[in-house]
Amino acid sequence: MRIISESQLAAVLARLPGSPRVVAGGNFATPRRALEILDEAVAEYRLFMLNAQGDLPDRAGVVLETPFVGAGMRGRRGLRYLPSRLSLVPLLLKGELPPDVVIVQTSPPAGGTVSLGIEVNILPAAIEAVRARGGLVIAQCNRRMPYTHGDAVLAEQEVDYAIEVDEPLPSPTPRPPGEVSRAIAERVAALVPQNATLQLGIGAVPDAVLESLRDRRGLAVWSEMFSDGVLALEKAGALDTKAPITASFAFGGQELYDWVDRNDRVRMLRTEKTNDPGLIARQPRLVSVNSALEVDLFAQANASRVNGAIYSGFGGQSDFVVGALHSPGGRAIIALPSWHPKADVSTVVPRLTGPATSFQHSFVVSEQGTATIWGRDAAEQARQLIDHVAHPDARDGLREAGRALGFPSL
């Protein structure tokens, strides 16, 4: 790894031929200064990121690509959305979408290594793919980036060039859970046994679920991500101190970043491991909790599209639903409010308005109640969703629509 100046990095990037594909760290570990230098030095390029946050280039010559849309790409004209389960994205990078440059944010060098810190995810696969074809690996070494273990650790020789920065890592805006989220969380928590292994997605409901689990004991974490709620479980004594906290990326407040720094209990693994349904299934009592935009009477969940437009993507939801169902004592839970306050519509619909993100869940939960899905016939699944999950104002219309869909007993 050669540490260079920003002007030297600009000169290196300016020599890139054609319209290179650049894979960069996403979530809250975006190498923002390095991307600014890229945008100034290269007229045309493709930028591939997962769950991109904040301001991104929005000009002619820049094509944004992603399998999971974050706030920084949502609604962008010309966005290339590439449908893929998160566990399969590394295969895209090694096959159909090979990178020419990979830009990551790392810790400062230590003992001949750097760490990817809070964002491992697909980056090891991207680095392997770009090195196999003679491309560049560039690091933005940030003294504020925690040093985490596992697949986060890179030998310095895996990086071609690096610039040095000293910038605070961003944190998500705190969103205190409302009354509906707390009611959902209490119902979900009732489905989580002692000594469970947890996977929770992103959003107000999963965060509220973690708050409701502080009285549990012996909990483990195997998840694609975690945030401040896991640290709260640690403080409450809810986590099994002998079990590693396994994830692929993390984001939260500064206290969380300080806690994960050189913490031997935190094991950051690449996506191919955390999201492998086979490895997920080996975790005992794996309880997967994810959100959705809507569910239909066929017990399918849409967490990807709103009115036909891409909102996020498959992410790891389908990976963990499958893995949880195969886990001994595992459960796959979809949690959502019964009514969408902004759109003023029911979130339980006769048929999905977008493609299914996942299906064959164990339970679907709203503030109204809990529908038991797994092991019930199709008509009973529909009945459970109407009677226990749907908002009362939507139930009569759903029964009528359900009869038209082939459920005459509703």
CA-CA distance, 376 to 355, in Å (whole number)?
Answer: 23
pLDDT of residue 59: 93
pLDDT of residue 202: 74
CA-CA distance, 322 to 339, in Å (whole number)?
Answer: 27
CA-CA distance, 214 to 205, in Å (whole number)?
Answer: 15
CA-CA distance, 321 to 199, in Å (whole number)?
Answer: 10
pLDDT of residue 367: 97
Contact criterion met (CB below 8 Å) for 169 and 163: no
CB atoms within 10 A of CB 343: 12
User: What is the separation of C-alpha 98 from the centre of its chain, rounded to a whole number of angstroms?
Assistant: 22
Pick from 308, 289, 124: nearest CA to 211: 289
Nearest-5° Cα angle at 332, 383 to 116: 150
pLDDT of residue 127: 98
Contact criterion met (CB below 8 Å) for 227 and 256: yes
Phi, psi (5° rounding) for residue 109? Answer: -60, 145
pLDDT of residue 399: 98
Q: pLDDT tens, position by position, for the chain (410 residues)?
A: 999 999 999 999 999 999 999 999 999 999 999 999 999 999 999 999 999 999 999 899 999 999 999 999 999 988 999 999 999 999 999 999 999 999 999 999 999 999 999 999 999 999 999 999 999 999 999 999 999 999 999 999 999 999 999 999 999 887 888 999 999 999 999 999 999 999 987 777 888 899 999 999 999 999 999 999 999 999 999 999 999 999 999 999 999 999 999 999 999 999 999 999 999 999 999 999 999 999 999 999 999 999 889 999 999 999 999 999 999 999 999 999 999 988 899 999 999 988 999 999 999 999 999 999 999 999 999 999 999 999 999 999 999 999 999 999 99
CA-CA distance, 87 to 361, in Å (whole number)?
Answer: 19
User: What is the separation of C-alpha 373 from the centre of its chain, rounded to a whole number of angstroms?
Assistant: 24
CA-CA distance, 141 to 90, in Å (whole number)?
Answer: 24
Pick from 384, 379, 388: nearest CA to 409: 379
User: What is the separation of C-alpha 305 from the centre of its chain, rounded to a whole number of angstroms?
Assistant: 16
Pick from 65, 21, 60, 61: nearest CA to 44: 61
Pairing of strands 113-115, 153-155: antiparallel
CA-CA distance, 91 to 394, in Å (whole number)?
Answer: 42
Identify the bridge partners of residue 219 per DSSP, sorted by sequence position: 239
Contact criterion met (CB below 8 Å) for 243 and 326: no
User: What is the separation of C-alpha 350 from the centre of its chain, rounded to a whole number of angstroms?
Assistant: 28
Paired tokens of 224: 């694609």
Q: In Å, what is the CA distance from 104 to each residue of 127, 146, 233, 373?
A: 9, 14, 30, 42
Instruction: Please provide the distance, in angstroms rounded to a whole number, between the alpha carbons at the two ends of the chain.
Output: 66
Q: Which are the catalytic amino acids? A: 224
Per-residue HEC secondary structure of the chain comes to: CEECCHHHHHHHHHCCCCCCEEEECCCCCCCHHHHHHHHHHCCCEEEECCCCCCCCCCCCCEEEEECCCCCCCCCCCCCEECCCCHHHHHHHHHCCCCCCEEEEEECCCECCEEECCCECCCHHHHHHHHHHCCCEEEEEEECCCCCCEECCEEEHHHCCEEEEECCCCCCCCCCCCCHHHHHHHHHHHCCCCCCCEEEECCCHHHHHHHHCCCCCCCEEEECCEECHHHHHHHHCCCECCCCCEEECEECCCHHHHHHHCCCCCEEECCHHHHCCHHHHHCCCCEEEEEECCEEECCCCEECCEECCEECCCCCCHHHHHHHHHHCCCCEEEEECCCEECCCCEECEECCCCCCCCECCCCEEEECCEEEECCCCCHHHHHHHHHHHHCCHHHHHHHHHHHHHCCCCCC
